[in-house]
Structure 1
Amino acid sequence: MLQRLKPPMLRLIKWLRPTRERVSASTVATERSGTSLRKRSAKPCRVYTPRMDADGNPIARTEERKPKKKVACLIGYCGTGYQGMQLNPGCKTIEGELFGAFVKAGAISQDNADDLKKSGFMRAARTDKGVHAAGNVISLKMIIEDPELLSKVNEELPEQIKVWGIERTNKSFDCRKMCSSRVYEYLIPSYAFLPPKPTSRLGQLIEEGKMEFPGSTREDPVGYQWWSDLSDAVAAAGVTAADLAAIQEHAGENPMGENGLTEVGALAKKVRGIENGARRAFRIDADKLNLFRTALQNFVGPHNFHNYTLGKHFKDPSANRYMKSLSVSEPFVIDGTEWLSVKIHGQSFMLHQIRKMISMSSMVVRTGCPLDRITEAFEQAKINIPKAPALGLLLEQPVYEAYNAKLETFGYEPITFERHAKEMDAFKMKYIYDKIYNEEVKENVFWAFYNFIDHYVSEDDTFAFFTAKGINKDQKVNVKEIVIPNESNANIEE
């Protein structure tokens, strides 16, 4: 039979026959020891450890063991009242609410109800105290045989947390690692682009810069006319220069006396009311809006963002990030205040990066300094960029462009928020936007931030780089974070 075969086939048969030369030394040693190769290469068996009660006795299973499947849960939430997203024993968190709802709805068994790790839980982005997300993604193994699972989970959740959808994925899916990019939204009132008060320290530095470097900054006649009109309105209300001096002298003191507001406290309240009304009535003009849009385009592309975060050096490779796009909406008015919505789409972000980007771009617009001050901050010189308020920041959604193509080859639906857009918009308006608008009206968060920056006094004039004087590349900068009074430390793991 073998003689009838062609020479190539004979050579193949000879090659496939085991010979002593082809057996490795380790294999020979294994054979001599009497241990089979199958036993030698077998993986150790996983030992089942039963749950124990308080007395150390095994707890018997009370339910039938059901198959689990890897899924991606598309979620949204208002972070107000929560100590962040990530599960933290003893604290009220978004993940704690979600995990509890999954258990109650039967998506996670009682045997796995005591530990997120047992379900392979992972989040696409972690948000801290008070921060919102219109869209976020978590991945885990769940029992999904119940066709009413989504509605049952949402019934167990508070109104300010929603699960938009539950999508099947392949076993290796990790919502954090597989995320191609992320989209964030930042809401900012248009009055934030008013120039610094002329008598503030930053206002004085701007004038000094104009004299030292004439023609290097932009004029803002509309903005300074607003300050002049405000001064006239205060004077028309009967507040004198002496009254304003008294308010300044007693700033920071308790305005309450034994019989209610002190005289100075009452004056300060009166002036604040006039200022608040003027800010709410401000409307940004087309030129300034276009200037802000142009400023934001300086962030698009790959850049070194070491100055736009904390604890990063210029030569640190991890400081390099890629921004895909930045856009600004048309102005819209909510309860008398005009707002802008900024969308930031980037591959990845660092701590406080978005808040510092918003701060930098808004400051170059309101101070009149060259827009390329933004790109100069990508260079080696270290500067101290303040963080814009956390109030306006929310995670819009993670994006899975690259991985969705792979999921489709496996027969799974793509991970996208598009089909939930209508529900998400209604949710954002009711539970997120309204919270932001109401807090700004109540606390004047943005005004407090910019007012603090404008009046900040230091030996090295920390914020002089926002003027015609520019960045002093030879100056040693104290990069310690400047703490703004009443400012939340909330952030997003970007």
Structure 2
Amino acid sequence: MQTSDTNLQSSAAPSAAAEITATTATEISPGSTVPLSTPNTSTDPVPKRSVDEATFATDDSTAANKRLKTSPDAPSGGANQIPVDKRGKKKGKGSRGQKAKGGDDNRQSSSGWARRGTRADGEVAATGSDDGNKAPRLPKRQCAIMLGFCGSGYSGMQFQPNAETIEGTLFKALVKVGAISEDNSDDPVKVNLARAARTDAGVHAAGNVVSIKAIVEIPGVDDLVRSLNEALPPQIRVWSVLRAVNSFNARSRCDSRMYTYYFPSYLLIPPKPKFDTADESSGSTSTSTSTSITSDADLAEKRRWRVSEDTVTALREFAKKFIGTHNFHNFTVEKDFKDRSSQRFMKSIHIADPVVHGETEWISLLIHGQSFMLHQVGRKMMATLVLSVRSGTPPSLLDEMFGPKTVFVPKMPSLGLLLESPIFESYNEKIAPASKLSPDDPEYRPQILFEAHKEAMERFKQEHIYAAMRATEDMFGLFNDWIKSIDVYKGGDLSYFIGGGAIPEHAIVKKGVRRQNPFRELKRFDANNYERVVPMEEDTAFDDEKVDRRMLDEMEG
């Protein structure tokens, strides 16, 4: 994977580009990914917890270890460790109403602790089946699965019941090749599945990481990565399956994420003032706009338009205001200014020089941030950037939007958004000693680096992601439909884009106060399969998005 100061656009991108970087921006460490190591298959006793494993107790497992008073000699297992007395019975607050079981699932160590649901390398337990035959229960190992995907046709990354998702498809492939046992095949929660970055419906990823407890030594499977790719559709590719420390969680161990947004430059064509409209609720007047090219027949003229150097410079200057720590409550849903979780840190933004593909000129923008809220990165931030620059709004508008005033911000189409990769800098640094061991060493843990898969990922982006984006735009004119939906709107919700950098009173969204003529977003811009999208004039507008606040954390990425 390339660093944050590298142009991650297509190979045809020109060399000249401007970069905007925060002073604390981090780089992706170079390195190569090593294949999954072979577990120890000896019958030796369960090894003691290594220094590297002990270092990587997660917040949850650390809290559990404190409650259970884990001794330094206790074996690994985190919250699965259960205190026992001399007679082998469980003790402690969490064991009320439970019976201690003997055998493989509940073994007592020399330190007086029992482990549940953990086996030594090479140890198998028998499990019964309906016909009375015994099938071996193979040991599971905590793994990091590195993958990429084209999100068209999928309802996002995260597993959802009764919906086709990237995780759901990957999970089925893991079951098919034997990496997930039949006992665990009905629920991803059983294998601790987590993702480094969640993506919306229709959003793509060149690189993402899924943590999971999987069977890695499968009888008859010599190459797990190859077997998984044979079981997956071509638009989902597994780059590597790496052994991770037992406490590894892809989401909590991820330090930052990098996204690219890819859009046709004609979105920056300045709007043409057409008429004034009075806001009914305030009596104030705001200028509405209409694009200078409105008919579908003139779309070809838009595509022949080329952005000026001055406009690209203005784009880069405006983007600088996003860098650093700010309150992004206006760039997501169900958050307000007082919510501390709205504070996010943007490390760098890199805007490449425009590149022409076919008849259309495209611009790519690479954003490197610590974390992003729902719809923040490539939807609401990008809409603010594009709409401000095309209308000549000064960057000082962002100072107002980072403040306590709440405004409505439309979302750019999901089509242009691409997750480049998550970054695990602190994890890689701490396991560096273990990554230098021989792959045959049971303590070996490789670093999570996408650099080794750079060429394969670039080919995948060109063939499955960028090609799909351009083909969809060529066929449906989706970005043209989006900018037209902005220009034909006659209300006051978006009047702050022509307010000289200040937010007018009638554009402020107030809790409990109904807005007059609110902007309605069309479903087509959130679609995951554009071939099924109805014509724009028949599209159904939906109200402001409502999301259960308890689910917002899971929707971040």
Measured against the shorter chain, the TM-score band is 0.7 to 0.9
In structure 2, stretches of 5+ residues that fail to align are 1-84, 106-116, 118-124, 278-284, 436-444, 529-554
Deviation at 1:91, TM superposition (A): 2.6
Would you say the 8 A contact 2:194–2:250 is kept in 1? yes
**1:319 paired to 2:342:** yes
Displacement, 1:59? 6.3
**What is residue 167 of structure 2 aligned with on the other side?**
95
Following superposition of structure 1 onto structure 2, how do residues 455-494 of structure 1 map, counting pairs within 5 Å? 455-458=488-491, 461-469=492-500, 470-472=502-504, 476-477=508-509, 482-489=519-526, 493-494=556-557
CA distance in 1, matches of 2:243, 2:396: 46
The 3-state SS of whatever aligns with 2:522 is: coil
**Alpha-carbon separation, structure 2, partners of 1:41 and 1:299:** 53
Q: Following the alignment from structure 2 to structure 1, what is the Cα–Cα distance between the partners of residues 399 and 132? A: 64
Residue 149 (structure 1) aligned with residue 224 (structure 2) = yes
Map 1:46-195 onto structure 2 (within 5 A): 58=130, 60=132, 63-145=135-217, 146-195=221-270
Q: Tell me the equivalent position of 2:100.
A: 45
* 2:380 aligned with 1:356: yes
Structure 2 partner of 1:23: none
Over the aligned positions, Cα root-mean-square deviation in angstroms equals 3.1
Residues 86 and 95 in structure 1, CA contact (< 8 A), matched pair in contact too: yes
Map 1:38-437 to 2 at 5 A.
39=89, 41=91, 45=100, 58=130, 60=132, 63-145=135-217, 146-199=221-274, 227=292, 271-273=295-297, 275-354=298-377, 355-411=379-435, 412-437=445-470
Distance 2:404 2:506 in 1: 11
Q: Give 1:452's match in structure 2, choosing from 481, 485, 501.
A: 485
Q: Which residue of 2 aligns with 1:246?
A: none
Three-state SS of the structure 1 residue aligned to 2:453 is helix
Offset at residue 133 of structure 1 (A):
1.3
Contact 2:478 2:525 in 1 (8 A): no
- For residue 113 of structure 1, report the CA deviation from its aligned partner: 2.2
Alpha-carbon distance in structure 1 between the residues aligned to 2:431 and 2:370: 20
Task: State, as a whole percentage, how many aligned pairs show the same letter.
Answer: 39
Taking structure 1 as the reference length, the TM-score comes to: 0.73
How far residue 72 of structure 1 moved from its aligned partner, in angstroms, is 0.1
The Cα shift of 1:89 comes to: 3.5
Q: CA deviation at 1:297?
A: 0.9
Q: Determine if contact 1:201/1:456 at 8 Å carries over to the other structure.
A: no
Report if the CA contact (8 A) 1:52-1:58 is conserved.
Answer: no
> Greater Rg, structure 1 or structure 2?
1
Structure 1, unaligned runs of 5 or more: 1-34, 203-207, 211-223, 231-267
Looking at structure 1, the residues matched to 385 and 302 of structure 2 have their Cα atoms a distance apart, in angstroms, of 20
Contact preservation (8 Å) 2:496, 2:507: no
Q: In the superposition, relative to structure 1, how do residues 200 and 169 fare at CA in structure 2: closer, same or farther (>3 Å)?
A: farther
Cα contact 2:332–2:375 (8 A) shared by 1:
yes
Distance in 1 separating the partners of 2:259 and 2:211: 20
Between Structure 1 and Structure 2, which shows a larger proportion of strand residues? 2
Q: TM-score, normalised by structure 2?
A: 0.65
Distance 1:377 1:51, change over 3 A: farther
Q: Verify the 8 A CA contact 2:255 2:426 in the aligned structure 1.
A: yes
Structure 1 residue 438 corresponds to structure 2 residue 461: no
SS at match of 2:161: coil
Q: Deviations over 1:303-361 (max 9, x none)?
A: 00111111211111011111011111111111210001111111111111121111111
Q: Distance in 2 between matches of 1:73 and 1:36?
A: 41
